[in-house]
Amino acid sequence: MQIRSCWLLMLFLTFSSWASAMQSSNLVGTWVGKVQGYDVEMRFELNPDGSANFEGVAGSWHAQGNRLMLTQEGETVAYNYTLQGSKLTLSGGDLMAPMVMNRAGSSDVARGPMPAMPQPEESYDPMAPPDVDSP
């Protein structure tokens, strides 16, 4: 019975480590967004090796459960996060309001509307002779 309990504990710990690593790998990438209520865009990169870049300042990161720890210039700030597809929401830490970010390059990143196709000014007849103005 003790061996079975140890085996189950080892299996649980292995799965927990694997799940945490998978969750962290989903955060890797470049994120762009704004703190709600503020018109300042933020951008940061989370690299697979744990290094990071926050608005041009080098740092590091790691995730633990639903907490994202960002370290720069020797100071670590812990944020709560939720990840839904390519949308990352951070709250807590030093944020006054939640920050909603989108993975750069994803279709969720806000873009302006596509321009409409121009409509022809008149009907086109491919058999008509070219319209040439004579002087």
- Region 23-42 average pLDDT: 84
- What average pLDDT does this structure show over 92-105? 90
> Collapsing DSSP states into helix, strand and coil, what is residue 65?
coil
Longest C-alpha distance within the chain, in Å? 104
Judge whether residue 32 has pLDDT over 80: yes
What total number of domains does the chain contain? 1
* pLDDT given at position 82: 94
Structural domain that includes position 26: 2-103
Residue 134 lies in a domain: no
pLDDT band of residue 109 (cuts 50, 70, 90) is very low
For residue 28, being part of any structural domain is answered with yes
pLDDT at 40: 82
pLDDT in tens, 37-65: 888 888 989 999 999 998 889 999 999 99
Is residue 111 in a domain? Answer: no
For 91, the token pair is: 């709250």
Residue 127 lies in a domain: no
Let me know: does 49 contact 58? Beta carbons within 8 Å: no
Is 116 contained in some domain?
no
Q: How high is the pLDDT of residue 86?
A: 92
Q: Between 9 and 65, where is the model more confident?
A: 65
Considering only residues 134 and 80, tell me which one the structure prediction assigns the higher pLDDT.
Answer: 80
Dihedral pair phi/psi, residue 133, rounded to 5°: -85, 130
Q: Is 113 within a domain?
A: no
Secondary structure percentages of the chain, helix, strand, coil, to 5: 20, 40, 45
Q: Can you tell me the distance from the alpha carbon of 65 to that of 20, in angstroms, rounded to the nearest whole number?
A: 7
Q: Confirm whether pTM is higher than 0.75.
A: no
Checking if the pLDDT of 117 tops 90, the result is no
Kindly state whether residue 25 falls inside one of the protein's structural domains: yes
Q: Is residue 88 part of a domain?
A: yes
pLDDT of residue 37: 84
> How many Å apart are CA 24 and CA 126, to the nearest integer?
59
What CATH number is associated with residue 47? Answer: 2.40.128.290
